[in-house]
Amino acid sequence: MIELNERLLDGENVDLLIVGGGITGAGIALDAASRGLKTILVEKGDFASGTSSTSSKLIHGGIRYLKNRDFKLVFEALRERGLLLRLAPGLVKPLPFLIPVYDGGFRHIKKLVQWFFNPEKTTMMELIKAPLALRMSVALYDLFAGKRKIRKHQILSRKDVLSIEPMLSPSGLKGGAIYWDAFGLDFRLTLNVVKKAREYGANCLNYAEVLEFLMENGKVVGARIRDRLNDKTYRIFARKVVIAAGPWVDEVRAKAGIKQRMLRPTKGSHIVVPRDRLKINNAVVMEAMDGRLTFAIPWDDLVIVGTTEIEYYDSPDEVRITKDEVDYLLEVANRYFPSAELGYRDIITTYSGVRPLIDERGLSATDVSREHRVVEGPEGIITIAGGKLTTYRVMAKDVVDRITEKECLTHSIQLKEQCTDFPVDIDEDIREYMVQVYSKDEIERIAELIEENPHLKERILPDHPHIWAEVNFAIEQEFAVRLSDVIIRRLGLYFKESNGEVAKQIAEHMGKLLGWDSQHIDAEVEDYLSEVKKNMGWKKEVAGE
Ligand SMILES: Cc1cc2nc3c(=O)[nH]c(=O)nc-3n(C[C@H](O)[C@H](O)[C@H](O)COP(=O)(O)OP(=O)(O)OC[C@H]3O[C@@H](n4cnc5c(N)ncnc54)[C@H](O)[C@@H]3O)c2cc1C
């Protein structure tokens, strides 16, 4: 049985206390620890249980930000994309994007002129319907990527587009373009950054919540933290406290008496459908009915369709997709792929997250910049908000540069090695998956677990490459303590199968490792299923309940 030890020391003094274990907090923990700062990170739920597991999973420059002339952001994000492809191979991998253009023609030159003088009045798709603008956008994107360009863009004829994506609607199709970006498993990327931060000495804890801040003469000197695993509270004193709480930033700042809001949060939702129902070979860029750019993104045997963007001021803990959003995403997908005839029955799962966008008055939610902002004060506190998954490393650097003059090292810290071999006689799809997700030393440990117990190489679900040894590994090496940690954010099974059938089996397996009795096992299953039910609540709306 695996023991859980006391994880904090009451009264401990550190250089840095980070609140929030999404990609932003994890990135700061790694940066700070690698520069020699004594660091503790606390996350109230599981690592990446907030926005960092609910993104579109794109490691991208963001071609649509060109429209807003957000050139600095695109340039920076493309540089980070190049770096992440090298620092986390397999977890971050190249992906071609197809922009099909319908009803193009020279009348769209007018739109181009309009954009030049008034970018907020033009949508990206309106803009790139002008052949010149399409060429300019993809060429500029490649130019900004510079040496880190993945592959050169291509301009395609109507015939070319249909030959590579035969399910696309031919009606009104004029042509298109291919450009390259990358796909990254957000929850595993966050976890790898946490693991690396721990290797450098940061104490990163999930299920540890900041209850309140400790003040001395008007200065924040630390926080009172509840370890939710043993229900004890601890006082941690810190030279600096960094709030990296994503969409919870304003809520956490309020605990330090800061009333001024930083965020203008928006909700974004996705539906996931089987790839054999939406057979695409590239990520496809689609224009939604309101002009928003939406994507169909292939992920193994699934396609993620998203996202929506809706202002959202309720608790991020309660975010979920509505039937209206499901309808919106189905409608976009069916406009581009009418022969798929996608319906509610095709949806495997859905998920929603809240973007921690900076409040920029006067701009629509879609036009709000994805740049981050760092705010210092009141004394003892630094807050970071905004930004993107892709740019987490520069965001972290921006924070840690304010705390130490030591040089940032994260551009050269490998988050995962390139692996090719899984030393177990196993099916090819499992081998492929293993080398994509795990580092060499992790693969060796998983192989050892299988040597100790050959049953662990069996599949958890017949159609997916996940094996039982991963559950042992997630508990032993990846800080998974709850059933939902394993199913959602270690194996990502939730995204592939949300009917919960496998939950009981995994809970029983975990129960043997963690010493759970049958009551505990049932409680974990119930808890996980209620999370699934919350995410799939739109089904009730469909049924008219
Ligand atoms: C729909 C959608 C699609 C997106 N797609 C992309 C994309 O494709 N590419 C891209 O680059 N970016 C994308 N983004 C943006 C990106 O996902 C976010 O910018 C990023 O994940 C934010 O990370 P974070 O760590 O700041 O916040 P989070 O991941 O939300 O982490 C904050 C953490 O703070 C914790 N916390 C809150 N209160 C406390 C407390 N009191 N004590 C301790 N911990 C606390 C929370 O539990 C949470 O885990 C997308 C965002 C959304 C919503």
Per-position DSSP letters for 103-153, written without gaps between them = S-SGGGHHHHHHHHH-GGGS-HHHHHTSHHHHHHHHHHHHHHHGGG-SS--
Residue whose Cα lies nearest atom 2 of ligand 1: it is 55
Cβ pair 167, 336 in contact under 8 A: no
393's tokens:
């490393």
Q: Which atom of ligand 1 is nearest to the CA of 211?
A: 41
Q: Evaluate the CA torsion angle 19, 20, 24, 28 in order and state its sign.
A: positive
- Residue 3, phi-psi category: left (phi > 0), alpha (psi -120 to 50), beta (remainder): beta
Which residues of the chain form CATH 1.10.8?
A: 428-539
Q: Is 51 in the pocket of ligand 1 (CB under 6 A)?
A: yes
Nearest to 145 by CA among 88, 98, 235, 85: 85
- State in Å: Cα 368 to ligand 1 middle: 16
- State in Å: Cα 181 to ligand 1 middle: 21
* Pairing status of strand 232-243 against strand 13-19: parallel
CA distance 197 to 30: 4
DSSP for 20-48, written as a single string: --SHHHHHHHHHHHHTT--EEEE-SSSTT
Q: Is 49 in the pocket of ligand 1 (CB under 6 A)?
A: yes
Secondary structure of the chain: what % helix, strand, coil (to 5)? 40, 25, 35
- State in Å: Cα 296 to ligand 1 middle: 21
3-class DSSP assignment, residue 163: helix
- State in Å: Cα 131 to ligand 1 middle: 36
Which residues of the chain form CATH 3.50.50.60?
A: 13-52+187-263+367-412
Q: Which atom of ligand 1 is nearest to the CA of 390?
A: 11
411's tokens:
């551009």
- State in Å: Cα 246 to ligand 1 middle: 5
Q: Is 395 in the pocket of ligand 1 (CB under 6 A)?
A: no
Per-residue pLDDT at 1: 47
Per-residue pLDDT at 129: 64
Task: Please state, as a whole number, how many other Cβ atoms lie within 10 Å of the Cβ of residue 510.
Answer: 26
Q: Evaluate the CA torsion angle 133, 122, 68, 61 in order and state its sign.
A: negative
Fold of the domain spanning 266-353: D-Amino Acid Oxidase; Chain A, domain 2 (3.30.9)
- State in Å: Cα 113 to ligand 1 middle: 37
Residue written as token pair 């695993």: 229
CATH architecture of 13-52+187-263+367-412: 3-Layer(bba) Sandwich (3.50)
Task: Please state, as a whole number, how many other Cβ atoms lie within 10 Å of the Cβ of residue 518.
Answer: 10
Residue whose Cα lies nearest atom 17 of ligand 1: it is 55
Ligand 1: which of 18, 41, 389 to mutate, judged by most atoms within 8 Å of the beta carbon? 389
Q: Which atom of ligand 1 is nearest to the CA of 247?
A: 30
Fold of the domain spanning 428-539: Helicase, Ruva Protein; domain 3 (1.10.8)
Cβ pair 255, 213 in contact under 8 A: yes
Put simply, whether the predicted model's pTM sits higher than 0.85 gets the answer: yes
Q: Is 20 in the pocket of ligand 1 (CB under 6 A)?
A: yes
- E strands, 191-264, in order: 203-205, 208-216, 219-227, 232-243
Q: Report residue 154 CA to chain centroid gap.
A: 28
Q: Is 442 in the pocket of ligand 1 (CB under 6 A)?
A: no
- State in Å: Cα 383 to ligand 1 middle: 14
CA distance 208 to 232: 10
Q: Is 104 in the pocket of ligand 1 (CB under 6 A)?
A: no
Q: Is 209 in the pocket of ligand 1 (CB under 6 A)?
A: yes
3-class DSSP assignment, residue 56: coil
CA distance 154 to 100: 12
Which residues of the chain form CATH 3.30.9.10?
A: 266-353
Q: Which amino acid is at 318?
A: E
- State in Å: Cα 20 to ligand 1 middle: 9
Tens of pLDDT, residue by residue, the chain (545 residues): 444 567 999 999 999 999 999 999 999 999 999 999 999 999 999 999 999 999 999 999 877 777 677 788 888 999 999 999 999 999 999 999 999 988 754 455 556 556 655 666 667 666 666 666 777 778 888 888 888 888 988 899 999 999 999 999 999 998 899 999 999 999 999 999 999 999 999 999 999 999 999 999 989 999 999 999 999 999 999 999 999 999 999 999 999 999 889 999 999 999 999 999 999 999 999 988 888 889 999 999 999 999 999 999 999 999 999 999 999 999 999 999 999 999 999 999 999 999 999 987 656 666 666 789 999 988 999 999 999 999 999 999 999 999 999 999 999 999 998 888 888 899 999 999 999 999 999 999 999 999 999 999 999 999 899 999 999 999 999 999 999 999 999 999 998 887 777 999 999 999 999 999 999 999 999 999 999 998 888 998 888 77
DSSP secondary-structure letter at 207? S
Q: Going by C-beta distance under 8 Å and a sequence separation of 6 or more, which residues neighbour residue 485? A: 46, 206, 474, 479
Q: Which amino acid is at 397?
A: K
CA distance 458 to 2: 22
Per-residue pLDDT at 106: 46
Q: Report residue 138 CA to chain centroid gap.
A: 24
CA distance 502 to 485: 14
Ligand 1: which of 51, 312, 392 to mutate, judged by most atoms within 8 Å of the beta carbon? 51
Nearest to 385 by CA among 290, 247, 514: 247
Q: Evaluate the CA torsion angle 98, 149, 309, 538 in order and state its sign.
A: positive
Task: Give the side-chain half-sphere CA count within 13 A for 199.
Answer: 13
Task: Please state, as a whole number, how many other Cβ atoms lie within 10 Å of the Cβ of residue 310.
Answer: 17
Per-residue pLDDT at 2: 45
Q: Which atom of ligand 1 is nearest to the CA of 23?
A: 25
CA distance 115 to 181: 24
Q: What radius of gyration do the chain's Cα atoms show?
A: 23
- State in Å: Cα 22 to ligand 1 middle: 6
